[in-house]
Structure 1
Amino acid sequence: MKLIAILFLCSRLLPSLTQEGVSQKIDCNDEDLFQAVDAALKKYNSRNQSGNQFVLYRVTEGTKIVGSEIFYSFKYQIKEGNCSVQSGLTWQDCDFKDAEEAGTGECTATVGKRGTKKFSVATQTCKITPGNGPVVKAEYTCVGCVHPISTDNPELQPILKHAMEHFNNNTGHSHLFALEEVKTAQRQVVAGLNFEVTYTIVQTNCSKKHFPLLTPECKSLQDGDAGECLHSAFVDIKQRIADFSQKCDLYPREDLVKPLPENCPGCPQNIPIDSPELTEALGHAITKLNTDNSHPFYFKIDTVKKATSQVVGGMKYFIEFIARETACSKESNTELTANCEVKPVGQSLNCNANVYMRPWENKVEPTVNCRALEMITMMRRPPGFSPFRSVQVQETKEGTTRFLNCEYKGRPSGAGAESAPGSKAESSHLAQ
């Protein structure tokens, strides 16, 4: 029955090829060419019951014949991706496997177009060359998983350098900022490396008017603005930063607090921001914030900036902290718990809390005032509207077959494949 169905489909689609039709030129900007290749590759991947999906590399030859029906006849090259055929993902969601491990192939297909968006595969044959097999790596039991790395790892240096240059070149602040501290870092091995880094930045004494770039003369200002950033970067196999995103929360620093007098009973006293003495007061402060705030999600304290205590017929705490939105909604959770994780991209608040406590009377009076931090999100623009990068076009004498080099550019250039000519110019401003 399956064979009969295939023959019936072919009998419906193929007659137009034998009829007199007009051959038209096609190039890498033909949107229907990509749709036809997409239909053919999805058809191929759907036939496999195990293993990984294949990802489009480039289209090398193509003809468009317009008759009573429209047909695309083309050749395209594919490479093995890192998504299994049973993952539920499409091939566009996959990256290439490492070049030595990945299988490669070349397919010849004929795809008919009916209506405006319906594409049907009439014929297709693929020749697959298996890869060399997986490379044994013993550092982690899960090679493709996200793993934490040291904040002073040398691999982070070009990423952080690029991050600061991008921030200073794309913000309207009057002064340059410098890196203060790397807080966390993690890495994932894909067809290249994915990095995610959180770090703090500080305003320097170098104005953009007089300093185009950071120099050793640029020193951080204790009373200047500061911020915290989350930076994601993809480094391809050629050690280039091929893609990145940056999100920074800026907050102004208050004027320098004058040193508090020592040996002054009843005067405010500075407390270390990690002091266990603050635990209870912080708990009352965040509870008060979440109770008074109408936001649908809970906030949790992320960073304590400074704190003081004062003995006044009890204990009074003055605390400044940063609170961040979590993934725990108030609708689904009765209270904030330790399992509530901060959202990677969520609201941030700069808060000042005043917590008055008289434990012997079981009396607690917290007040909290917060303001939203300025959120600056900068991301690299996605590829152009055409999913292909056009390289060369060559026609045969008959004028029907065209040799193309339409490299698929819906993924970072260089991830397991050779870069097409022209791609260097497109990403050179990202490379170190």
Structure 2
Amino acid sequence: MKLITTLLLCSGLLLSLTQGEDAQEIDCNDETVFQAVDFALKQFNPGVKSGNQYMLHRVMEGTKTDGSPTFYSFKYLIKEGNCSAQSGLAWQDCDFKDAEEAATGECTATVEKRENEFFIVTQTCKITPGKGPILKDNFPCIGCVHAISTDSPDLEPVLKHSIEHFNNNTDHSHLFTLRKVKSAHRQVVAGLNFDITYTVVQTNCSKERFPSLRGDCVALPNGDDGECRGNLFVDINNKIANFSQSCTFYSEHLLEPLSKKCAGCPKDIPVDSPELKEALGHSIAQLNAENSHTFYFKIDTVKKATSQVVAGTNYVIEFIARETKCSKESNTELTEDCEIKHLGQSLNCNANVYMRPWENKVVPTVKCQALDMTTLIRRRPPGFSPFRTARVQETNAGTTKQLPTNVLGAHGSQLAGRIQTQKQQNFLILISLMLFLNLHSLGSFTNALPASLPTAQAQTL
């Protein structure tokens, strides 16, 4: 077979096939037009079920619509060649069939060009068989790229995945949500290819407080925004097997912190604000419900708090909770009368309370951590004498015990030096005897008594 050189004849630049303000008439001899027509014809020929392939005879007219992507609309004439439709040959490798026997046709097509690739949008051909009536063939091109409605339900999982990918792969302090789908295309392969263009906008939900986008995250009127293009492949199991995304932001200050006047953003509130009363009540109730401690806890100090208006109000509160004297066994709930234990356990807590009053909806979450016990006075077991807190001092001569100042007072050492009377001596012996009994009850320090104690006891008796 010899290569046929096709003469591209153009009767002039005619009106656009696709009406639009951006459509421009183009020369039919333009190389890109020929490439688009060649692509369209090669998509048409495999759909011929019987007979021979068709060859390009003449490009009649064409227009171009610039943009991303670019669209070419044109009308061209075709003529039956002498190569079988099932031969697998390109139409350029065929010869025209005899004029009297050859079928002819007129085709109108719109082709989309993206990154040096062509995709059929629409194509319709009217075929006139040799010595026969005109037949109209609407070429559906099942495997071609077709535009679909931006409201199509098929786009919901695709857009959800796109937004999640955007939020997980950007350094912005806040989550973004979908604003508008500008265009969408789909192609049936061994699965589905999607090509979507959409805009995104910043919400009032910060990544610090919200791990993912929620239904109550709302778009900020003056938030950062941008436009994205996503390409996805959904396999035959309806799973997203491949995804790519590119975005362009309109804001020049994308990574700057939000203004403190940002409506819908978290704001600091005074720790003694009456607004916190209900949120604190839900927080301590949640803490006591989740805590397996024997006694109830009570909020002692509120360290800081913020509130955020979403579809309701979200409170973030940090507070210190202290153990009370009210046991859960004897009390059904925490009351205002429950007193805080002076030496009870203390917890540092962070609470997040979401409230939607008009629906009576409250969702509290509380996380607590015990405060460092080295900063607190240790609790004494029942019956433990205060004298057991005596400090042990190491000296060169050995080990001595010194009573704490809270027992003898600030001038205890001076008072001991002045005790001379028998009554005062007897008082000290009584104290020593009490110390012995307490130590002996624990089975320790049995040799800690002074050697003079029996003698002192004998003198007393």
The two structures share one fold, judged by TM-score above 0.5: no
Q: Which has the higher helix share?
A: 2
Q: TM-score, normalised by structure 1?
A: 0.38
Q: Which has the higher strand share?
A: 1
Structure number with bigger Rg: 2
Q: Which has the higher contact order (CA 8 A, sep 6+)?
A: 1
Q: TM-score, normalised by structure 2?
A: 0.36
